[in-house]
Structure 1
């Protein structure tokens, strides 16, 4: 940390290494965060914000940066991999939970920063009601649907030691190159 003045400290974010499939941390159940305002948690959030932006991801869970705590960032924005994505401000979500999930499911293409070069058609609930703590410790409950619901479920799985390839039949797995060909020919 850099001391700017005696009463104010600024957190300097660092770019974190992203755990790759095979790292044990990706298969662990993440621990609940007892103190959202703790300096270590606030520093982790800052690190994750710069890491997800640098990796051009739409989400990042703490286990993906080798921290097995119940925290993820939803950072949806259009990219070559998700050209139809909405643009949202990145949202840190601590101790998230799914309060309700629709019976309606939809299949959609997913990838993962921890499993580069692979895409799969993953079935997910179309709509959710979710609850989480903000980085300030406030409890929020909100509805999400479509792509934001998909990203929430993908990141939530990381907190439970699940990766997207666990959820799909092997015939729905493709390489990144093939995925880009598929979506470009789809219009």
Structure 2
């Protein structure tokens, strides 16, 4: 079972690397790792388990956050209509995005960042993601609202981007400039 001690914190170089694609067909080891990532998110949202193991609640987790430079993410969240997104994806890519932008009013947080970072993180309001699921099948997800923000945050991790890199005017020793096309 993954716990907070398994989560890599900001400053660790793996969080700034472009993660390597996961070979397909998927290995049993990669499938197990992704399953453990999703299990962490589910456990972190269960108050009793979270308290017992001192887990911070999370809705998304990328492999670099557990020290693996691999393109895999896990997401466990719902949208405004209570539709659940509880899945793992391998080699996810955003293949289309809206011109319309959005952001979380309270800002974003990250399991790899042990401090509050204030500021608006601009995100696309709607995206389409193409990826491989745990059954080695290509999937496409059309996302909007909160799930779209979560997926963009996690896919950023696969490109070595931290959420605060996107905050305009934010000055921080960990921040770095990013290519606007990412």
TM-score (norm 2): 0.77
RMSD: 2.2
Q: Which residue of 2 aligns with 1:20?
A: 9
Q: Which residue of 1 aligns with 2:114?
A: 116
Q: Which has the higher contact order (CA 8 A, sep 6+)?
A: 2
Say how many residue pairs are matched: 155
Gaps of 5+ in 1: 1-13, 79-83, 174-187
Match of 2:20 among 15, 19, 31: 31
1:43 is displaced (CA, Å) by 1.5
Q: Who wins on radius of gyration, i.e. which is larger?
A: 1
Task: Give the secondary structure class of the aligned counterpart of 2:18.
Answer: coil
**Structure 1 segments (4+ residues) deviating >2 Å:** 50-55, 84-87, 169-173
Shift of the 87–118 alpha-carbon distance from structure 1 to 2, 3 Å rule, reads farther
1:103–1:125 CA contact under 8 A, matched in 2: yes
Gaps of 5+ in 2: 45-55, 173-182
Q: Which residue of 1 aligns with 2:72?
A: 71
Q: Which residue of 1 aligns with 2:148?
A: 149
Per-residue CA distance 1:59-95 (angstroms, 9 max, x = gap): 00000000110000111159xxxxx794624210110
Q: In proportion to residue count, which structure has more strand?
A: 1
TM-score (norm 1): 0.75
Q: Is 2:89 aligned against 1:93?
A: yes
Task: Give the secondary structure class of the aligned counterpart of 1:22.
Answer: coil
Q: Which residue of 1 aligns with 2:178?
A: none
2:78–2:147 CA contact under 8 A, matched in 1: no
Distance 1:115 1:52 in 2: 16
1:171 is displaced (CA, Å) by 5.7
Shift of the 57–36 alpha-carbon distance from structure 1 to 2, 3 Å rule, reads farther
